[in-house]
Structure 1
Amino acid sequence: MLKYIDVLKFVNHGNPVARQRVVKTPEEWRAVLSPEVYEVTRLKGTERAYSAAMCSSFEPGLYACACCGTLLFDGREKFDSGTGWPSFTQPIEPGAIAYENDRSYGMRRIEALCSTCDAHLGHVFPDGPPPSGLRYCMNALSLNKIETPFEKAVLGGGCFWCTEAIFKELKGVETVESGFSGGAIANPTYREVCSGRTGHAEVVQVTFNPAEITYEDLLRIHLSTHNPTTPNQQGADVGTQYRSIILVSNNDQRRSAEKVLAEMQAIFDRPIVTEIKQLEAFYLAESEHQDFYLKHPEEGYCQAVIDPKLAKFRMLFATSRK
């Protein structure tokens, strides 16, 4: 979870790296944007307070940059700030937003921009609700709402190369991303997490369609394809970064996790030690860790560790595979 100190660090020491960049000339932007959207996003304008219905809309969905389509916010982080502009407590991921000092109009503020295309979105303030204390005050014209059937699950069960390979084969799973969560520092590197001093676990973020596979079934498969009874260890991988963990984003997910853990305990002779923790932030791992098994099936670790896990998974959950 980002807090204001993290935003200040980005401003003073450099923004998180964007997944991609979109660069166009002013003329190219004018050709694809309405005059109102161009004024706000490319010329740093501000819409009138309470001028958009988006301010009072709190239905589930995702919010994307009106210029380039990059996903920026999850509707679950939206709240009524009473300011007249759509407000969020967190971006959808730390690298989605870039930050710059803004001293216009005799004020000192921190500007929020789309990290992909540098579109002006609004400003971020340290007066939001807990636990982050952040208020991303956005122009509605800078955002497009996207209705989506997908939900996300963040799970850890040892080396994320193994976990990613398993979940990629499941029906109803749209994407699987390897990363880090559950620790104390923002934007950790793989090397830092491997030191065991960040508190982060190696995890995967699974985007899935609950109409095709339920969250509880994802958890059952997760607990069946690693050993949830060994504290801070999976086979030869030892350390807190390899702990069994379920990061929940809301109370419904927490209740489901508690239910499934109690249900699955009957299968194991030893107590399940899987941690259930509130998701504060998911940090994407470096590109070389994404799709690792698909890229390197001949690697020794893949053949010795991942291949046997996949064979067990394919036998137990044959009907759940794509």
Structure 2
Amino acid sequence: MLKWLDVIKYANNGNPAPDKRVEKTEKEWKALLTEEQFNVTRLKGTEHAFSSDLCSYFEPGRYTCVCCGTALFDSDTKFESGTGWPSFTQPIQENAVAYHKDSTFGMVRIEALCNTCDAHLGHVFQDGPMPSGLRYCMNAVSLKKVDVSEKKVDLGGGCFWCTEAIFQRLKGVIKVESGYSGGKITNPTYREVCSGATGHAEMIEVTYNPNEISFDDLLRIHLSTHNPTTVDEQGADQGSQYRSIIFYRTEDEKQAAMKVIDEVQKSYLDMIVTQIEMFEHFYKAEDYHQDYYNKNPDGGYCQAIIDPKLSKFRELYNDKIK
């Protein structure tokens, strides 16, 4: 999760490399954009406050750059700031937005631009809601709302090799990545996480289609395919990095997680100790951890530990397997 110090760092020292670049001549941009879009995005103009219904539009979806189509923000990070411009707490990924110092109008601000095509989007301020404290104050005409059928959930339940192998096999799951969340440092390594000193948990980030599998069902599967009643322990794996945890992105997800835990508790004699925390940042693990079971099905750990878990998973959720 980006904080104000990260924004200042990028503005002072240079921005992260974008996934791609789109460059056009002024004539080409004028042919693609309306007069107002061109004035705002290419000439750094500002639309009038409260001039767009986008301020009060919170339906699920993504917001892309009106110039090049790059995904910039997710509706989950949108909030009502009362300023008259659409406001967000985070970009969709760290390298989606670029930051420049803006000294116009006798003040110093941080300008936000599309990192792909340099379109002017608006400005970033440090008066947003926690946990990021950021407010991306965007011009509505610089954005295009796109409906998407994808959501993400981050879960921890012991070694991520095991949890990844299970969730990869579910209908409605688009992608599963292994990584780390919930700790105190940025970009931790596997060695650092294993030391227990960083506070991170081994996690999976699940990208799924909510029209095919629900958030609640994902949590039920999570809580029944590892032991959620042991503190910092899953079988022989011990340490805070193996804790049972669910990260939520919205208040609705938090309430849903609490409800599912109460429901699943009836299946366990011991108390469920799964933590519920607000999602801040997911750090993708090293490449050799990704898709581990599928790449190493004959490995000793896979046969001794993961295979039995997959067998139990198939018995419980055969109707949900791809």
TM-score range, shorter chain: 0.7 to 0.9
RMSD: 2.9
Q: Quick one: which amino acid aligns to residue 320 of structure 2?
A: S
**Matches of 1:294 and 1:70, distance apart in 2:** 32
Q: Give the equivalent residue in structure 2 for 1:74.
A: 74
**Matches of 2:94 and 2:282, distance apart in 1:** 8
Moved more, 126-135 or 295-304: 295-304
Q: Give the equivalent residue in structure 2 for 1:181.
A: 181
Tell me the CA shift for residue 96 of structure 1. Answer: 3.2
Tell me the CA shift for residue 155 of structure 1. Answer: 0.9
Q: Give the equivalent residue in structure 2 for 1:221.
A: 221
Q: Give the equivalent residue in structure 2 for 1:208.
A: 208
**Matches of 1:133 and 1:118, distance apart in 2:** 24
Tell me the CA shift for residue 110 of structure 1. Answer: 1.5
When residues 238 and 40 of structure 1 are mapped into structure 2, their CA distance, relative to the original with a 3 A threshold, is: farther
Retained in 2: the 8 A contact 1:112–1:123?
yes
Tell me the CA shift for residue 287 of structure 1. Answer: 4.7
Q: Quick one: which amino acid aligns to residue 271 of structure 1?
A: M
Retained in 2: the 8 A contact 1:93–1:283?
no
Tell me the CA shift for residue 141 of structure 1. Answer: 2.4
Give the match's secondary structure for 2:67: coil
Tell me the CA shift for residue 178 of structure 1. Answer: 2.6
Q: Give the equivalent residue in structure 2 for 1:251.
A: 251
Tell me the CA shift for residue 145 of structure 1. Answer: 0.8
**Matches of 1:99 and 1:301, distance apart in 2:** 45
**Matches of 2:31 and 2:172, distance apart in 1:** 34
Q: Give the equivalent residue in structure 2 for 1:291.
A: 291
Q: Following superposition of structure 1 onto structure 2, how do residues 293-308 of structure 1 map, counting pairs within 5 Å?
A: 293-308=293-308
Moved more, 221-230 or 249-258: 249-258
Retained in 2: the 8 A contact 1:178–1:205?
yes
Deviations 1:160-183 (A, max 9, x none): 232222112111223323332222
**Matches of 1:116 and 1:160, distance apart in 2:** 33
**Matches of 2:195 and 2:43, distance apart in 1:** 44
Q: Quick one: which amino acid aligns to residue 78 of structure 1?
A: K
Give the match's secondary structure for 1:94: coil
The alignment covers a number of residue pairs equal to 321
Q: TM-score, normalised by structure 2?
A: 0.85
Moved more, 113-122 or 23-32: 23-32
Moved more, 86-95 or 186-195: 186-195
When residues 115 and 199 of structure 1 are mapped into structure 2, their CA distance, relative to the original with a 3 A threshold, is: farther
Task: Name structure 2 gaps, 5 residues minimum.
Answer: none
Identity over the aligned pairs, expressed in percent? Answer: 62
Q: Give the equivalent residue in structure 2 for 1:151.
A: 151
When residues 240 and 17 of structure 1 are mapped into structure 2, their CA distance, relative to the original with a 3 A threshold, is: farther
When residues 117 and 30 of structure 1 are mapped into structure 2, their CA distance, relative to the original with a 3 A threshold, is: closer
Deviations 1:198-236 (A, max 9, x none): 222122222333332222211111112112122222233
When residues 67 and 284 of structure 1 are mapped into structure 2, their CA distance, relative to the original with a 3 A threshold, is: farther
Q: Give the equivalent residue in structure 2 for 1:58.
A: 58
Retained in 1: the 8 A contact 2:54–2:140?
yes
Q: Give the equivalent residue in structure 2 for 1:30.
A: 29
When residues 11 and 288 of structure 1 are mapped into structure 2, their CA distance, relative to the original with a 3 A threshold, is: farther
Give the match's secondary structure for 1:2: coil
Moved more, 69-78 or 135-144: 69-78
Tell me the CA shift for residue 299 of structure 1. Answer: 4.6
Retained in 1: the 8 A contact 2:30–2:38?
no
Retained in 1: the 8 A contact 2:175–2:207?
yes
Tell me the CA shift for residue 28 of structure 1. Answer: 9.5
Q: Quick one: which amino acid aligns to residue 318 of structure 1?
A: N
Give the match's secondary structure for 2:100: strand
Retained in 2: the 8 A contact 1:99–1:110?
yes
